[in-house]
Amino acid sequence: MGSFIARRLLAMVPLLFIITFAVYALVLLVPGDPARTLAGGLHADPAEIVRIRHQLHLDQPLLAQYWRWLTHALRGDLGQSLFQHESVAHGIATRLPLTLSLAIGGFAVSILIGLPLGILAGTRPGTAVDRSATTASSAGIAMPDFWVAIILVVAFAVKLHWLPDIGYVKLSTSPLQWAKHLLLPWIALGLGGGATLARQVRGSLIDALDQDYVRTARAMGIAERRVVWQLALKNALTPAMTILGIQFAYLLGGTVIIEQIFSIPGLGEYILSAIDSKDLPIVQGVVLLTAVVFVVVNLFVDIMYGVLNPKVRVS
Amino acid sequence: MSARSRLVTIALVVATLAAACSSGAKKPTSGTTATTGGSAVSVTPPTTIGKYGTRVSPGGTPDPNGVLRFGVDFPNVFSANTFDPAASLNSCDKIDQGLIFDTLTTLSPSGELQPGLAQSWEFQPYGTSLTLHLRPNAKFSDGTPVDANAVKASILHLKTSPLRTSLAVITGIDVIDPLTLQIHLSPQDPTPADLLYAFNDLDGMVLAPSSTPTHPVGSGPYTLASADNSRMVLKKNPSSLDAPNYQPAEIDFVNVGTGPPSVAALKAGSIDMTQFMPESLPVVKADPSLGYNVRPSHEYLTIEFRLDTAPVNNQLVRQAINYAIDRNEINNVILGGTGIVTDEVYAPDQTIAFNPSVANEYIPYNPDKAKQLLAQAGFPNGISFSLVIPGGITMSEREAPLLQNEMAKAGITVKIVSVDPSALLTSFYLHKENDAIALPYPAEEEYAREVYDKYGALGYTSKLTGSVQGGQYEQLMIQGQGTLDPATLKTISQQLAQITADKALEAPIAFEAQLLAWNYSKIGGNPNAGSDPCRPDFQGFFIKK
């Protein structure tokens, strides 16, 4: 297992290299000139533009700029934001807890909705319960998260005044307020993922329950509860792990719109304004973080495959 | 990129263009000494327009400890992590910084220059010095006096920033006495009147010597108590001379997205007041628990022409284009009917400059007249020109096909070119690509300077898009920049408005509305949306007990 993890971690290096370089090059292609903006716009003194360009190393070739960023990043220095008067590391550090709170909560909602619904439908195929669960999960998949968010805001914040519609309270300040402020975003984020998970679990469970070993177990008189929970579900969860892994990584990088709707100043809002202003160090820092999370989550999923299915571990 | 953030980018581009004129070279002329002065700005009741107007808050007793929660889209409005006007990249920073720092001058609602920390001033038109007489007894919130030395240090600090371009003209400052200072200007660019106008903005904010980017200290009606990415808390500064004009004991700026999220937050009770977009007006109007004020802003949709490029270098063609725009349709479709259609570059409430006889020169829509003018210009089969619009801006993308269809009926083929807002400066202005551009543009209060910048021989924009040189027009533009006398300014500005329209130098379409909504149960008095989206008015209302 150790060498497996080491190999996967090593494979991460070229992947991160490619991702960060591609993003660096793409952002440089975006129109606009940060040096001109910082020098005063259209009427900027050309000498001032040259000075700022040089100061920010924007006058260097792409590869040199990238290499400079990379060598600093390897030392843990993600650079200084061009416009936000703070280091990128500090900017990420202050916003990451918010985005993590959102992503983990949304992920939990996905599991809380998806697993029971999938099991319920998968163990009763063709029944009214299955049809209802399938319809509900189809609806969940069809509804975009921003639309769900708006409906939730209108219903629970504007009409009923049960929950706040905007803002964020730190967990350390008030756990109750923290949860109240995040409940609607969690549901908005987790609903679609839960629906996808439910469909996956249902399908896998129906397949698993149709296998010979399940028939044998039933013929041997093993209790149905044990057949489902200990034999079939364990196998049915292996493909669901992939969905969950992708979902978590997606949630971390995909909270942009939800953060906008609920006015939560997380990483999504951070990178969005950075792209607008062509604040390259921020874009690179957030992309690097997201890429690392994607790779680590995938690695975790692979390890969990091994835990759930020894055959995968051996291969 | 969100529509709002793209819009802000455009606003920055436009603000840059508008500010550019402060550095434009002007020809010195002779003139008389101009002196002005006066009392503090008075509270103006909300202005109403058309069928929308205002719904004020009846009754209520002011709570001396009341807190106002004002919804603002932080990432698109405030510069992050700094309260130093020198580092400010967003002109909307004056929303919060304008409450913390006093400015040397201020503007009346109709755009007249008025005293701020400088209670009076003296200068020779196009002279190389400007003398400011400071308001006595003003104190920073740390108790130190706002004297000439502090003002000098503050101006010199702001001048170190390349962003505060209007201050580049300053070559030195002499402190004459504790309440008087003399500012010396470059003989190459003597613009004392321009500088006085610039002093009503970020460029004229006065910082205490102890002020830092994270702990700002000014003499404004509020002080900063705390700030993070989602909330900024300002507390009343009792030592401010203007403190009695502001009722809330505390103003909390709360981060909320522009558009529907801000109105939803208002209805949910998460905020007490916010600016909002025209498309939300029906929602606000339908909710009896909300008050609102809709008034014309000084920002107008317009088409700027490249005056040195055919076919739009032809006056008859430009007049034809003006006749071929159905301004009412654009107002109704794009601005939800909240705008004021115009063919003039000054807003109706900019009373010094607005010329009523110009209004409706090209209104109503008249495609037949446009065809006739094109034939007269030698284009009986119509013309074709390319029009740049800022890409990704919903308003512009909805406006473009309307313009295309309206002009097509007059035989004008418009090729729409969508350009990313961040590339507008480079593409249209610096690289001179395409024939015209459709933008929202601020009608600045420096009336003569504004048209000089756009059409004068050495104006900043006109250097890139073509100018109108010589003759009465240029003479008026230059004369208008040398005076602050309201009567003279009125005569000159109204003539400028007339000539600008007659020559069809641009195609103004409609002044946008400024919209403010608030919660009845919380706010009393007469909140006013103000004419500048970056300058909401925090006077004239109170927090109810």
* Residue-wise pLDDT tens digits, A116-135: 999 999 999 999 999 999 99
Q: pLDDT for A171-201, tens place per residue?
A: 999 999 999 999 999 999 999 999 999 999 9
Q: Take residue B105 and report the two structure tokens written for it.
A: 């001058």
Q: pLDDT for B353-400, tens place per residue?
A: 899 888 788 999 999 999 999 999 999 999 999 999 988 788 899 999
Helices (H) and strands (E) in chain B, counts: 16, 21
Q: Do B5 and A272 touch (CB under 8 A)?
A: yes
Contacts of A149 in chain B (CB under 8 A): none
Average pLDDT over residues B224-239: 94
Crossing angle (nearest 10°) for helices B486-502 and B471-480: 150
- Min distance B437 CA to chain A CA atoms (Å): 16
Q: Which of B5, B228, B271 is the closest to A273 by Cβ?
A: B5
Residue B32 confidence (pLDDT) above 70: no
Residue pair A175/A101 in contact (Cβ under 8 Å)? The answer is no
- Min distance A32 CA to chain B CA atoms (Å): 5
pLDDT for res B4: 40
Burial of B150 (0-12, 13-18, 19+ CB in 10 A): buried
pLDDT for res B52: 59
- Which of A263, A275, A283 best tests the B interface by mutation, with the highest count of B CBs <10 A? A263
pLDDT for res A43: 64
- Which of B161, B229, B519 best tests the A interface by mutation, with the highest count of A CBs <10 A? B229
Q: pLDDT for B202-216, tens place per residue?
A: 999 999 999 999 999
> Does A47 contact B at CB distance below 8 Å?
no
What residue type is A219 in one-letter code?
Answer: A
Q: Do B230 and A164 touch (CB under 8 A)?
A: no
Residue pair B106/B38 in contact (Cβ under 8 Å)? The answer is no
What residue type is B303 in one-letter code?
Answer: I
Pairing of strands B180-185, B170-177: antiparallel
Produce one character per residue of B58-83: b if its CB has 16 or more CB atoms within 10 Å, e if not: eebeebeebebbbbbbbbbbbbbbbb
> Does A144 contact B at CB distance below 8 Å?
no
Residue B40 confidence (pLDDT) above 70: no
Q: Give A29's pLDDT tier (boundaries 50, 70, 90).
A: confident
% of chain B surpassing 70 pLDDT:
90
Residue B72: strand, helix, or coil: strand
Which of A138-147, A245-254, B33-42 has the largest mean confidence? A138-147
pLDDT for res A312: 63
Q: Do A260 and B16 touch (CB under 8 A)?
A: no
The partner residues of B301 in beta bridges, in order of sequence, read: B440, B510
CA distance B253 to B69: 6
Q: pLDDT for B117-148, tens place per residue?
A: 999 999 887 788 999 999 999 999 999 999 99
Question: Which one, of B223, B64, B48, B46, lies nearest residue B542 by Cα?
Answer: B64
pLDDT for res A58: 85
Q: What angle do CA A75, A76, A79 make, to 5 degrees?
A: 105
Average pLDDT over residues B140-165: 94
Contacts of B12 in chain A (CB under 8 A): 37, 41
Q: How far is CA B262 from CA A184, B255, B267, in A?
A: 17, 9, 9
Q: pLDDT for B425-443, tens place per residue?
A: 778 888 889 999 999 988 8
Residue B24 confidence (pLDDT) above 50: no
Q: Which of A158, A161, A276 is the closest to B1 by Cβ?
A: A276
Q: pLDDT for B481-520, tens place per residue?
A: 888 888 888 899 999 999 999 999 999 999 999 999 999 8
Helices (H) and strands (E) in chain A, counts: 15, 0
CA distance B468 to B461: 12
In DSSP notation, B246-293 reads ---SEEEEEE--TTHHHHHHHHHTS-SEEE--GGGHHHHHH-TTEEEE
* Beta carbons within 10 angstroms of residue A225's beta carbon: 9
Q: How far is CA B338 from CA A96, B73, B229, B290, B514, in A?
A: 41, 22, 32, 18, 9
pLDDT for res B120: 95
Produce one character per residue of B164-185: b if its CB has 16 or more CB atoms within 10 Å, e if not: bbbbbbbeebebeeebbbbbbb
Average pLDDT over residues B49-72: 81
Placement of tokens 């969100």 in the chain: B2
Residue pair A70/A23 in contact (Cβ under 8 Å)? The answer is no
User: Which residues are CB-neighbours of B21 under 8 A, at least 6 positions away?
Assistant: B194, B446, B449, B450, B452, B453, B459, B460, B461
- Which of A37, A166, A178 best tests the B interface by mutation, with the highest count of B CBs <10 A? A166
- Min distance A268 CA to chain B CA atoms (Å): 11
Pairing of strands B105-107, B180-185: unpaired
Residue B179 confidence (pLDDT) above 90: yes
- Min distance A273 CA to chain B CA atoms (Å): 7
Contacts of B261 in chain A (CB under 8 A): 153, 165-166, 260-261, 263
